[in-house]
Amino acid sequence: MLVTFLKSREAILTGALLLLLALIASRFPAFVAPRNLAAVFNDTAPLIILALGQMVVILTRCIDLSVAANLALCGMVAALLNVAVPGLPVVVIIAAVTALGAVLGAFNGILVWKVGIPPIVVTLGTLTIFRGLIFLISDGKWINAHEMTAPFKALPRADILGLPVLSWLAILMIAGFALLIGRMPLGRSFFAVGGNPHAAVYTGIDVGRTQFMAFVLSGALAGLTGYLWVARYAVAYVDIAAGFELDVIAACVIGGISIAGGIGSVGGAVLGALFLGIIKNALPVVNISPFWQMAISGAAIIIAVTLNARSSRPKGRLILRKAEATT
């Protein structure tokens, strides 16, 4: 069991994270203090939540480029609801925007499933639509902290057992997705559809419906994160989380989720997100230009894709040898 783990992508990522932390600690020891690492985890929590949703989409051989725009639209709706109806319970607002995010994800899923448009084209289009809708419903105006109610802003920051609610929600999502992927039929269907969609059909799995459910899950998490983002930073505007979808996809790829589908794990997605989160938080601390973050993230993606490609080659050669042996 231990040998298997040591050979896994998760073990490699864990080692890379520890090495990264050691390098940072050599220049700024306070960075690895437990309190600071907890703060880094909290900063990375939105990325972790979105990466889990993106993971199930990628597992089914799809991709969701609209996830950050979905987040931004739902966050703006949450802020507008809070301003329009200050007495509305925060739980109701969270439920509303999570449902809205799921509907937006379902819209992507329907276009992929029923209309047959490639996922990258669908989500590139809806990315623009969602951003446009934010401008229309807000008239291009910002909603600032003084316009939001105290309970609305307080929830993500409230401490429970020393950790903010935002961190606890990320932990809850990690546990939930571990259960979904490891124990539930839907989770196994994600892998089956991505691994071999033709074989999945013969086992009774509806490929289109499974991809649709992946988009709905990703959308619901984006809606939830929209509220968390706006409430935590106490501001809502058109360009919230602009470009953040690239970080989400990068976290998945670095975590070993194969763009070809059918390969990945919850642990990998979380570790990939933490890798990016540590880089983002550490570079300013050690006086390295934040522009290096993009370079390091890009290099990590290339290395991760290369490792994915190399790990799949032995299987192809083995099949070829077997075919030659039978001829």
Cα separation, 138 vs 300, whole angstroms:
37
Q: What is the reported pLDDT for 3?
A: 54
* 10-residue averages of pLDDT along the chain (327 residues): 62 86 86 91 96 96 96 97 94 97 97 95 96 93 92 93 94 96 92 90 92 97 97 93 91 89 91 90 75 73 73 46 46
DSSP at 29: G
159 has which bridge partners?
Answer: 164
**Are the CB atoms for 304 and 254 separated by under 8 Å?**
yes
Q: What is the reported pLDDT for 54?
A: 97
Residue 288, classed as helix, strand or coil, is: coil
**Are the CB atoms for 222 and 70 separated by under 8 Å?**
yes
Place of tokens 């013969």: 202
